[in-house]
Amino acid sequence: MAGIKSLDELKALRDKYKSSVEMRSSTDEENRVRIAVGMATCGIASGSRETINAIVDEVRAQGLNNVSVVQTGCLGYCYAEPVVEIRMPGKEPVLYGNVDSKRGREIVNKHIKNGEVITDLVIERSRC
Amino acid sequence: MGSYRMDVLVCGGTGCQASNSIDVIETMSKEIKAAGLEKEINLVTTGCFGFCEQGPIVKIQPDNVFYVKVTPESAAVIVKEHFVKGRVVKELLYEEPKTRKKLEEQSDMPFYKKQERIALRNCGLIDPENINEYIAVDGYQALGKALSEMTPEQVIDEVKRSGLRGRGGGGFPTGTKWELTRMSKADRRFIICNADEGDPGAFMDRSILEGDPHSVLEAMAIAGYAIGADSGYIYIRAEYPLAINRLKIAVKQAYDMGLLGKNILGTDFSFDIHLKYGAGAFVCGEETALINSIEGGRGEPTVKPPFPAEVGLWKMPTNINNVETFANVCPILLRGADWFASIGTEKSKGTKVFALAGKVNNVGLVEVPMGTTLREIIFDLGGGIKNNRKFKAVQTGGPSGGCITEENLNIPIDYDSLTEIGSMMGSGGMIVMDEDDCMVNIAKFYLEFTVDEACGRCTACRVGNKRLHEILTKITEGKGTEEDLERLKDLSQIIKDSSLCGLGQTAPNPVLSTMKYFWHEYLAHVNDKYCPAGVCKALLKYHIIPEKCKGCTLCTKVCPKGIISGKLKEAHVINKEECIACGACEQVCKFGAITRM
């Protein structure tokens, strides 16, 4: 690898690699957005692995660095898998159903980035 | 680099490797591939997490789950359950001994709660063999800042204002040391990193070099810039193969990236780093002996002054700092002297890493702010004494330090408070002792070490410490007299006053401090020929309490000398003349009828 010739080059390199270690920090946990994807047997069977990978990819692509994407178990909405739960600091959790990878990316862009809840994907908790 | 959705951090430090973490990593890597997850899960071998007692450690992010004592078999379970299905494997979580609750997150564990990690900031966080990860966590930014935005004087001033003091034992202000070296007139100057960690039980320097080698290289280059040196040496003991290996990789990567060598970051500053292996002699941790060893001479100290800051390596001004000291430098430059000075006590700033060992539940490395009490370290972080025994003393500062008893446990510890109570900070070794430890024997143990490690150059240390050891041996064998105790005191003082270097000057400290706090134990040994802790075999005799003995005859069957006599269902007797104090009878007695006396 060619040498780094200036502090600016070093800073650019840091910004390039930063995302690779970003999720390791567990500080400021309470202020992070948490996206949990249902990955029990029902979720996996309905394609939640593609969903979680698409969400992770989109989060990185949009440079969102206060977001944790984690797996979770069965939430009981097997009919609506893949299920994705969004927890934003200080707000009620929102539950989305039937999230394929395309809708996963849409959730990142609309809900996480801009704060718009995509109402037609939301599972009403009271209905169950 | 794809976009991994999960980072799996497995400890690859010496401690966890000894408990098989290499196999854990291999199994995990195989299982991840088998599950087809290799593009989603990033398996990283990191440095030491510090919680060596519970190793091997595996931490999962962003889930923030901390697994302990992971075996290759349970590693496979983690992959199948946690990585595939998102279910935390409860059996592998750390169990809080007091509440018996399983704790998922590292920050909830008492061992980590009071810690503040500056020197160990990247240990357990990044892959030490990958310079890109170090760069990602602001690596080499402090060097960049120093070279492009600060003059050498400003760098020195920043370190001075931070209040950083030498972490290797002496506690000399680091910034002042840099300034003195810079002010010495000479054609060349040198930087040395002292990685000759020798105190029994201390392993923080090893862990830093294994877990975050670049932080030391970067700080050495900064020091080089500050004092006007163009090359530095890391003097590391050959007994640290893993640390040496990681250092070699780090040095090569730094050269390849142009972060060491000629014209660093496009500036006029050039800096080279060489590794120099020590053969493991304790005395080579002493500055002047270390310099002699690098030059190819015998590892013997010379008289100070002149100090290395004036006349050091190849007769040139040389700045020597310890590994942990260097590990604190980059955060000081990046976050500022005021931030660093806000942590700790009035005269000791920042944090200190301690190696907890001995009769304590949580053996491992902890980094706490200066001013934390010993009680917090031993009972909160350390989880108290093993097997619910009673605390007796803690030895700080290794063979150069002294013991501290119950009454001083609440003192906020820093360089000065420890010296005041007759011990010292040293490099941060902390050996906890319980009621089963004989203090005369402990003093003898440390003397054995210093006698073994003395270089032989000066008479006071070479002969004096040998005599101290002989007198202590005599006492533990029950042949000591009260005159011997006086002789111990006098001789200790003479050795302290007349030895050439720190090794000899401090070698009698364990004797003096155990005599100060446990005088009654010394007296019991010489007057009553009795060892209160029941450790000194020659003074140990076993006795059967007739009222408690049921005459079950079990003890007669295990006695190797066949000297316990008595009839069935009647009280037995031990022939004390012939007893070799092996303790076999005490272990088998079901009625607690056999005692030491």
DSSP chain A: -PPP-SHHHHHHHHHHHHHHHHTT--TTGGGSEEEEEE-SHHHHHTTHHHHHHHHHHHHHHTT--SEEEEEE---S-GGG-S-EEEE-TTS--EEE-S--HHHHHHHIIIIIIH----GGGBPPGGG-
A100 φ, ψ to 5°?
A: -90, -175
Which of A6, A38, A52 shows the shortest C-beta gap to B266? A6
Interface test mutation site (partner A, options B9, B41, B61, B79, max chain A beta carbons within 10 A):
B61
Q: Does B107 touch chain A (CB under 8 A)?
A: yes
Q: Do B84 and A69 touch (CB under 8 A)?
A: no
Question: In chain B, what are the helix, strand and coil shares in percent, each to the nearest 5?
Answer: 45, 15, 40
Q: Does B45 touch chain A (CB under 8 A)?
A: no
Residue closest to A56 by CA, chosen among A77, A35, A87, A86: A35
Same domain, B459 and B392: no
Q: Do B5 and A52 touch (CB under 8 A)?
A: yes
Q: Is residue B54 part of a domain?
A: yes
Cα B530 to Cα B538: distance, rounded to the nearest angstrom: 9
Neighboring chain B residues of A72 at a CB cutoff of 8 Å: 86
DSSP code for B57: P
Q: Is residue B123 part of a domain?
A: no
Q: At A26, is the pLDDT very low, low, confident or very high (cuts 50, 70, 90)?
A: low
DSSP code for B562: -
Same domain, B187 and B271: yes
Amino acid at B437: D
Number of folded domains that form chain A = 1
Give the residue from B319, B341, B363 where a domain finishes.
B341
Residue of A nearest to B46 (CA): A24
Considering Cα of B192, then B196, then B202, then B203, what sign does the dihedral take? positive
Chain segment A56-83, per-residue pLDDT in tens: 999 888 888 788 898 888 878 888 889 9
Same domain, B392 and B499: no
Q: Is residue A68 part of a domain?
A: yes
Q: Does B268 touch chain A (CB under 8 A)?
A: no
Q: Is residue A21 part of a domain?
A: no
Same domain, B236 and B190: yes
Q: How many residues does chain B have?
A: 597
Interface test mutation site (partner A, options B1, B11, B59, B63, max chain A beta carbons within 10 A):
B63
User: How far away is chain A from the Cα of B410, in angstroms, using its nearest Cα?
Assistant: 30
B481 φ, ψ to 5°?
A: -125, 170
Q: Is residue A93 part of a domain?
A: yes
B15 φ, ψ to 5°?
A: -60, -50
Same domain, B34 and B167: no
Cα B366 to Cα B344: distance, rounded to the nearest angstrom: 15
What token pair was written down for B479? 């042949």
Pairing of strands B272-278, B231-237: parallel
Q: Is residue B334 part of a domain?
A: yes
Work out the number of other CB atoms within 10 angstroms of the CB of residue B546.
13
What token pair was written down for B174? 């680091």
Q: At A128, is the pLDDT very low, low, confident or very high (cuts 50, 70, 90)?
A: very low
Q: Do A39 and B85 touch (CB under 8 A)?
A: yes
User: What is residue A125's predicted lDDT score, i.e. its pLDDT?
Assistant: 62
User: What is residue A2's predicted lDDT score, i.e. its pLDDT?
Assistant: 64
Same domain, B335 and B198: yes
Cα B514 to Cα B489: distance, rounded to the nearest angstrom: 11
Q: Do B3 and A73 touch (CB under 8 A)?
A: no
Residue of A nearest to B40 (CA): A53
Cβ pair B382, B432 in contact under 8 A: yes
Cβ pair B444, B472 in contact under 8 A: yes
Q: Is residue B135 part of a domain?
A: yes
Residue B344 burial (C-beta neighbours within 10 Å; 0-12, 13-18, 19+) = buried
User: What is residue A127's predicted lDDT score, i.e. its pLDDT?
Assistant: 46
DSSP code for B593: -
User: How far away is chain B from the Cα of A113, in angstroms, using its nearest Cα?
Assistant: 19
Cα A76 to Cα B332: distance, rounded to the nearest angstrom: 51
DSSP per residue over B301-370, as a string? ---SSSPTTTS-GGGS-EEEEEHHHHHHHHHHHHH-HHHHHTSB-SSSBSEEEEEEEESBSS-EEEEEET
User: What is residue B26's predicted lDDT score, i.e. its pLDDT?
Assistant: 95
- Interface size between A and B, measured as CB pairs under 8 A: 110
Same domain, B336 and B359: no
Q: Flag whether the ipTM exceeds 0.90.
A: no
CATH code of the domain containing A97: 3.40.30.10
CATH code of the domain containing B321: 3.40.50.11540
Amino acid at B530: Y
User: How far away is chain A from the Cα of B251, in angstroms, using its nearest Cα?
Assistant: 14
Range of the domain at B238: 131-341
Q: Is residue B478 part of a domain?
A: yes
User: How far away is chain B from the Cα of A62, in angstroms, using its nearest Cα?
Assistant: 12
Neighboring chain B residues of A13 at a CB cutoff of 8 Å: 132, 135
Residue of A nearest to B108 (CA): A26
Cβ pair B465, B501 in contact under 8 A: no
Q: Do B265 and A10 touch (CB under 8 A)?
A: yes
User: How far away is chain A from the Cα of B327, in angstroms, using its nearest Cα?
Assistant: 20
Q: Do B258 and A13 touch (CB under 8 A)?
A: no
CA distances to B325, B397, B420 from B184, in Å? 22, 31, 33
Q: Do A23 and B256 touch (CB under 8 A)?
A: no
Q: Does B446 touch chain A (CB under 8 A)?
A: no
CATH code of the domain containing B97: 3.40.30.10
User: How far away is chain B from the Cα of A53, in angstroms, using its nearest Cα?
Assistant: 7
SS3 B67: strand
Neighboring chain B residues of A45 at a CB cutoff of 8 Å: none
Q: Do B7 and A24 touch (CB under 8 A)?
A: yes
Q: Do B135 and A70 touch (CB under 8 A)?
A: no
Q: Do A24 and B3 touch (CB under 8 A)?
A: no
Q: Is residue A114 part of a domain?
A: yes
> Half-sphere exposure of B226 toward its Cβ, with a 13 Å CA cutoff?
32
Neighboring chain A residues of B256 at a CB cutoff of 8 Å: 1, 3
Range of the domain at A91: 28-127
Among chain A, residues having any CB pair with chain B shorter than 8 Å are 1-7, 9-11, 13-14, 17-21, 23-26, 29, 37-41, 44, 49, 52-53, 56-57, 60, 68-73
Q: Does B144 touch chain A (CB under 8 A)?
A: yes
Same domain, B550 and B483: no
Cα B82 to Cα B35: distance, rounded to the nearest angstrom: 12
What token pair was written down for A45? 């069977």
Q: Does B47 touch chain A (CB under 8 A)?
A: no
Interface test mutation site (partner B, options A15, A26, A35, A57, max chain B beta carbons within 10 A):
A26
Q: Do A3 and B258 touch (CB under 8 A)?
A: yes
**pLDDT surpassing 70 at residue A1:** no
Amino acid at B201: G
Same domain, B199 and B336: yes
Q: Do A14 and B145 touch (CB under 8 A)?
A: no
Which of B126, B137, B265 shows the shortest C-beta gap to A7? B265
User: What is residue A28's predicted lDDT score, i.e. its pLDDT?
Assistant: 65
Same domain, B357 and B231: no
A38 φ, ψ to 5°?
A: -65, 120
Q: Does B108 touch chain A (CB under 8 A)?
A: no
Residue of B nearest to A39 (CA): B85
User: How far away is chain B from the Cα of A51, in angstroms, using its nearest Cα?
Assistant: 11
Same domain, B164 and B300: yes
Number of folded domains that form chain B = 5
Give the residue from B409, B428, B447 where a domain finishes.
B428
Neighboring chain B residues of A71 at a CB cutoff of 8 Å: 63, 82, 85-86
CATH code of the domain containing B414: 3.10.20.600
Distance of CA A15 to the CA centre of its chain: 21
User: What is residue B502's predicted lDDT score, i.e. its pLDDT?
Assistant: 87
Q: Do A41 and B147 touch (CB under 8 A)?
A: no
Work out the number of other CB atoms within 10 angstroms of the CB of residue B96.
15
Give the residue from B480, B498, B527 where a domain finishes.
B527
CA distances to A63, A115, B208, B320 from A86, in Å? 18, 11, 38, 53
Per-residue pLDDT of chain B (597 residues; tens, 9 = 90+): 457 889 999 999 999 999 999 999 999 999 999 999 998 999 999 999 999 999 899 999 888 899 999 999 999 999 999 998 888 999 999 988 878 888 888 888 889 989 999 999 999 999 999 999 999 999 999 999 999 999 999 999 999 999 999 998 889 999 999 999 999 999 999 999 999 998 888 999 999 999 999 999 999 999 999 999 999 999 999 999 999 999 999 999 999 999 999 999 999 999 999 999 999 899 999 999 999 999 999 999 998 899 999 999 999 999 999 999 999 999 999 999 999 999 999 999 999 999 999 999 999 999 999 999 999 999 999 999 998 899 999 999 888 889 999 999 999 999 999 988 888 888 899 999 999 999 999 999 999 999 999 999 999 999 999 999 999 999 999 999 999 999 999 999 999 999 998 899 999 999 999 999 999 999 999 998 889 888 888 888 788 999 999 999 999 999 999 999 999 999 999 988 888 888 899 889 999 899 876
Residue showing tokens 């155990």: B514
Q: Is residue B471 part of a domain?
A: yes
